[in-house]
Amino acid sequence: MNAGRKPVHHAVYDTLADWETGHATAYLARAGYEIRTVGPSTGPVTSIGGLRILPDLALDDVRPEDSSLLILPGGDLWTETSAATAAGSDDLAPFARKAREFLDAGVPVAAICGATAGLAREGLLDDRAHTSAVSFYLAATGYGGGERYVDADAVTDGKLITAGPTEPVAFAREIFRLLGVYEGEVLDAWYRLFHDSDAQAYAVLEQAGGQ
CB atoms < 10 A from the CB of 187, how many? Answer: 18
Strands (E) across 95-164 are located at 109-112, 154-157, 160-163
Catalytic residue set: 113
88-96 mean pLDDT: 79
As a whole number, mean pLDDT of residues 177-202 equals: 94
Q: Which residues pair with 112 in a beta bridge?
A: 163
- pLDDT tens digits, 139-178: 999 999 999 999 999 999 999 999 999 999 999 999 999 9
DSSP H or E segment with residue 194: helix 184-196
Compute CA distances 181 → 10, 22, 101, 108, 168, whole Å: 17, 16, 24, 14, 16
Q: What's the pTM? A: 0.93
| Average pLDDT over every residue of 130-140 | 95
What's the pLDDT tens digit per position in 100-110?
999 999 999 99
Mean per-residue pLDDT over the chain, rounded:
92
